[in-house]
Structure 1
Amino acid sequence: MNATMPMRPIDRYFASYSDDHRNELNQRIHVVAVPAILWSVVALVWCIPSPGPWAKTGIWAALAMFFAWMFYYRLSRPLGLGMLAVLFFCGCLCRLIEIRFGLPTLLWSALAVFVVAWIAQFIGHKYEGRKPSFLTDLVYLLIGPAWVLSKLYRRLGWKY
């Protein structure tokens, strides 16, 4: 990046987030746990039925995923498109589990994944010796998944 150009907001978020995630073990835990938490949150919201006679599941999750995607897309179009694919996958997985095993299985699976993944996150931060970024600003709950995806982009040689 050119030294005279100001940093983009996504670069500032990633720089700050990376500062709290220097330990290799913590980074590896995050690469697994952050997507797991993302899916589990989508799944938990998926389980909330919509009101009305046409009560369906997944509507609230679709809305939440749409607004999250807008956040990502505004920060970086390439990452926004990648996060769209990730969120689409999360939604498809929720629907598949709901159809195949039922809503209670989706709910209990999401709760279990959520708890285990957060325990892993806090173990990673114990090794790191730093508190999680979201404790300073809740926006980092959204930055985490994009940060993990940006690691994949860098490995593939893609710009974000």
Structure 2
Amino acid sequence: MKNLVEHLSQYASYHRDPRNIATHFIGIPMIVVAVTVLLSRPGLELGGIRLSPAFAAALASVWFYLRLDLRFGVLMSALLGACLWAGQALAVQGTSVWLVAGLGLFFIGWVIQFVGHYYEGRKPAFVDDISGLIVGPLFVVAELAFMLGLRPELKAAVEHNAGPVAIRQKKAVV
């Protein structure tokens, strides 16, 4: 299994333009919430816990994140817990509210992602490696930590492997 630096470096290599990173701060949370909303139906109550496909996916994701890094894993657990709460709140609404919220967030989130990749001039990371779908939310959390001056050793390792963040210049057409 790849370690944290390897996963973040591979994902970061597709995300070095700050405009692309900025779109990921909006698009990825929208997509994660959308998936949680959509997977919150069907479900069943067992001992006061709502079991649904969303719960199972969140549990598997938390296991992945905790294996990579305890600090990020705990934070991702809390964030996924909030997504589960939002997903459940929307899943108990009428079918049209549930679907519009889930599909709307999903569609808009991906549009925002593709706008970012237009600036990057590169396809999304998951096209080449499906693990990019689970690493993306962690990348956003790591980038926020870097912006706050946290985990400088991790930031240095990722930038050493993926390069610095810089605005990509479009090639002139002659």
- Give the TM-score normalised by the residue count of structure 2: 0.77
Mapping of 1:136-147 within 5 angstroms?
136-147=128-139
Query: What residue is the counterpart of 2:56 in the other structure?
Result: 63
**C-alpha distance in 2 between matches for 1:138 and 1:24:** 23
Deviation, 1:46, is 0.8
**C-alpha distance in 1 between matches for 2:147 and 2:130:** 27
Stretches of 4+ aligned residues off by more than 4 angstroms: none
2:66 to 58, 62, 73: 73
1:95 to 88, 91, 94: 88
1:155 to 132, 147, 162: 147
Deviation, 1:26, is 0.8
User: Structure 2 regions of 5+ residues with no counterpart?
Assistant: 155-174
Give the length in aligned residue pairs.
147
Deviation, 1:59, is 1.6
**C-alpha distance in 2 between matches for 1:61 and 1:44:** 8
**C-alpha distance in 2 between matches for 1:85 and 1:57:** 17
Q: Which has the higher helix share?
A: 1
- Alpha-carbon contact 2:26-2:112 (below 8 Å) kept: no
**C-alpha distance in 1 between matches for 2:97 and 2:51:** 15
**C-alpha distance in 2 between matches for 1:25 and 1:142:** 21
1:24 aligned to 2:18?
yes
Instruction: Provide, for residues 56-101 of structure 1, a one-character-per-residue CA deviation record: whole Å limited to 9, x for no partner.
Output: 97521111110111011101111110110110000111223345x4
**CA-based RMSD:** 2.1
- Give the TM-score normalised by the residue count of structure 1: 0.83
Query: What residue is the counterpart of 1:37 in the other structure?
Result: 31
**C-alpha distance in 2 between matches for 1:96 and 1:39:** 11
AA in 2 matched with 1:43: V
Instruction: Provide, for residues 90-124 of structure 1, a one-character-per-residue CA deviation record: whole Å limited to 9, x for no partner.
Output: 0111223345x434312211101101111111121
- Alpha-carbon contact 1:45-1:60 (below 8 Å) kept: yes
AA in 1 matched with 2:6: R
User: Structure 1 regions of 5+ residues with no counterpart?
Assistant: 1-7
Q: Kindly indicate whether structure 1 or structure 2 has the higher relative contact order, using CA contacts under 8 Å at least 6 residues apart.
A: 2
- Calculate percent identity across the aligned residue pairs: 31
